[in-house]
Structure 1
Amino acid sequence: MSSTIYVEAQMLIRKSIEDVFEAFINPELTTNFWFTKSTGKLEEGKTIIWEWEMYGVKSEVKVHQIIPNQLIKTEWGEPSTHVDYEFRVMEKGTLVVIKSYGFSQTGEDLLKIINDNTGGFTTVLDGCKAYLEHGINLRLIEDKFPQK
């Protein structure tokens, strides 16, 4: 097990910690920069389904812990990994740090999943920044792997 290895992506978003935190737990906001559908708001102890309709992909998200305006701890993916979202007040806004860990892959498969996680979470943070700061949905997730 490669549980000591983790992937980290971070971004300063020039909005209040309350606004940024809400964007990650409320699918009415999150669907503007990440997945296209959700079965509900993230709540501690709940399991939610996120969907990326353009790719025909769904993921079951288990919400392990929520500390309002500080931390969201989840587990999701296939095979599942832990993904934590940390929120920190900064002078110019909110720093969001996404950490993914608990990988079961090894060798080349581990390198691929680390690369996919790093790129994916960076894209999510970029999209979140554009949406919250400027009200723009850049369609980054949709355009990352265009079908035609």
Structure 2
Amino acid sequence: MATTESPRARASIIIRIAPKDITKALIEPDRLTQFWLASSSAPLAAGAKVHWKFMVPGAEVDTTATRLIPGRKIDWQWSDGTDVDIDLEEVDGGTAVTIVSSGFRGSRDEVVEHALTATEGFAFVLAALKDMLESGKASNIVRDKARLIELRR
């Protein structure tokens, strides 16, 4: 049976780090800029608007945390109305991190393309986060993907 629900982006991974440390990495500017962002105007805090610049030149967005439960849940809305929900669940001595993004706008084809692009992007972000937290050093996973996007524009 077909559904009329809009496509959602979804990516998940196990990171062998405590949920509270993953929360810090996803809300603190000094951590976010090690693996994902070029800059963040402030830490994420429930109800506060934060400006994020991504590693792709010209890509930036205002981000407002809608729910923040350290070690369990981080939800925000981007200025384009897209929602991002992150669930953290302790498993196998680590944390299952699941990101779901929804609320894409446009024609059916555009919405599908946005969801696919977001899924790919969040998969890279999670891989970079895992690498940074488990190895103690940042990789160039997101930076290299951003460079590829820039070259193909």
The verdict on a shared fold, with TM-score over 0.5 as the criterion, is yes
**Greater per-residue strand proportion:** 1
Pair 1:34 & 2:43 matched: no
Per the alignment, residue 101 of structure 1 pairs with 102
TM-score (norm 1): 0.90
Stretch of structure 1 that moved more, 6-15 or 134-143: 134-143
Q: What pairs up with 1:71-90 in 2 under 5 angstroms? A: 71-76=73-78, 79-90=80-91
- Tell me the distance in 1 between the aligned counterparts of 2:6 and 2:55: 33
Root mean square deviation, CA, Å: 1.7
Q: Shift of the alpha carbon at 1:92?
A: 2.5
Q: 1:10 aligns with which of 9, 12, 16?
A: 12
Structure 2: 5+ residue stretches without partners? none
Q: Which runs of 5+ in 1 are unaligned?
A: none
Q: 47, 59, 62: which one pairs with 2:61?
A: 59
Question: Hey, what's the Cα distance between the residues in 2 that align with 1:42 and 1:121?
Answer: 18
Label 1:48 to 1:86 Cα distance change in 2 as closer, same or farther (>3 A).
Answer: same
Q: CA deviation at 1:102?
A: 1.4
In the TM superposition, residue 88 of structure 1 has moved relative to its aligned partner by 0.6
Separation (CA, whole Å) in 2 of partners of 1:15 and 1:64 = 24
Please give the alpha-carbon distance, in whole angstroms, between the structure 1 residues aligned to 2:86 and 2:29: 15
Letter in 2 for 1:50: W
What is the TM-score of this pair, normalised by structure 2? 0.87
Residues 45 and 27 (structure 1), Cα distance of their counterparts in 2 relative to 1, 3 Å cut = same
Q: Work out the CA distance in 2 between the residues paired with 1:104 and 1:53.
A: 23
Indicate conservation of the 8 Å contact 2:56/2:146, yes or no. no
